[in-house]
Chain A
Amino acid sequence: MTSNLALVWPTVTAAFLASLVEAVEALTIVLAVAIVRGWRPAGLGALAGLAVLALIVIALGPLLDLVPLRLLQLVIGILLLLFGMRWLRKAILRAAGVIPLHDEAAAFATETAELREQARRNEARLDWIGALTTFKAVLLEGLEVVFIVIALGAGRGMLVPASVGAVAACLAVAAVGLIVHRPLARVPENTLKFAVGIMLSAFGVFWTGEGLGVAWPGADFAIVIFAAIFLAVSVAAVALARRPKAEALS
């Protein structure tokens, strides 16, 4: 029980931060469609995306109980390693100036420009195009959120805390987005991706090891140790890969 409680906060925090990043990216596209074409197609597309997501969760959720726990831990652990280390690698390279930082304002400008160009070419179908754009954005970003919730929660009965973290993040972003009507460019996305990449990688090593039958010393507390090791190595990697700003921008 104590061991399980030790997992609650890391699980909630990881799910919240990871979902925050995904929700901000989805919001940028929904806002772009809403500004170019109005809230109706943007909202309808987003709602349809949420409905399909709900269907996927309802259809696939019960199947998780049918998978043997060790196999579930192994598969989820490997997927977490691939997903988390991909995020971490990108965050390290961005922090080091090797690749440019993700710019939510620039993504918003690109999306609105694309929609305006489509409007110029085919005005009549634009409502559909707008709705499809938000549908795809919400569905794809939402699938990432669902994966994160399952990956963080399914291995040890933490689906509820992981879901709470994810839903809280999505609601917070939706509320702020509705109020400010602008992409959330001030969210420190790379710092979030760095932190989440570390947490997901630590969870990934832990679950993969559990799936392989590794008896980790300290049980669930090993995740905290893994996260500290990943943090130290990632900070060192940023320092090693760092480039002067001018060189990174050229």
Chain B
Amino acid sequence: MTVLTNALRELAGLFVDDGALALVIIAVVVLAGMVATLMPDASLAAGAILLFGCLAALLASVARAARR
């Protein structure tokens, strides 16, 4: 059981290191999804939110780690 738990934890660790970064990325995707759904003719706006949202999330995460 411990082996399985450890394996699952290591698998989750492949995708989540800084929990806050992962949460912000998901939030950015949800926001972009809402814009894409509500304004299908302006899908590029959703794309811009996705790209620049992810870049902002990355910068914020790096800045937070650098300050520690």
Residues in chain A within 8 A of chain B (CB atoms):
78-79, 81-83, 85-86, 88-90, 92-93, 96, 98-99, 136, 140, 143-144, 147, 201, 204-205, 208-209, 212-217, 226, 229-230, 233-234, 237, 240-241, 243
Q: What total count of A-B pairs have CB within 8 Å? A: 108
Number of interface residues of B (CB under 8 A): 33
CA A140 – CA B43 in complex, angstroms?
37
| Residue of B26, B32, B51, B58 with highest tally of chain A CB at under 10 A | B51
**Beyond A205-B51, A229-B51, is A240–B63 a contact (Cβ under 8 Å)?**
yes
Q: What does the 1/0 interface line of B20-58 toward A look like (CB < 8 Å)? A: 011001100100110010001001101100110011011
CA A98 – CA B57 in complex, angstroms?
18
DSSP majority for the B interface?
Answer: helix
Query: A86 — which chain B residues lie within 8 A by C-beta?
Result: 14-18, 21-22
| Residue of B21, B62, B65 with highest tally of chain A CB at under 10 A | B62
Between A and B, 10 residue pairs with Cβ closer than 8 Å are A82-B16, A88-B58, A89-B58, A93-B65, A96-B66, A213-B36, A213-B40, A214-B44, A226-B51, A233-B58
Query: A201 — which chain B residues lie within 8 A by C-beta?
Result: 54, 58
**Beyond A78-B29, A81-B25, A83-B15, is A214–B46 a contact (Cβ under 8 Å)?**
yes
| Residue of B21, B25, B29, B36 with highest tally of chain A CB at under 10 A | B29
A17 to chain B, nearest CB (A): 17
B29:A81 contact, CB within 8 angstroms: yes
B17:A89 contact, CB within 8 angstroms: yes
Closest to B34 in A: A212
Q: Which listed residue (A89, A208, A213, A240) contacts B61, Cβ 8 A?
A: A89
| Residue of A205, A233, A243 with highest tally of chain B CB at under 10 A | A205
CA A117 – CA B36 in complex, angstroms?
57
A97 to chain B, nearest CB (A): 10
| Residue of B36, B40, B59 with highest tally of chain A CB at under 10 A | B59
Query: A88 — which chain B residues lie within 8 A by C-beta?
Result: 58
A67 to chain B, nearest CB (A): 18
Q: Which listed residue (A208, A237, A241) contacts B29, Cβ 8 A?
A: A208
B18:A82 contact, CB within 8 angstroms: no
**Beyond A86-B21, A140-B10, A240-B62, is A214–B15 a contact (Cβ under 8 Å)?**
no
Closest to A241 in B: B66
CA A136 – CA B46 in complex, angstroms?
40
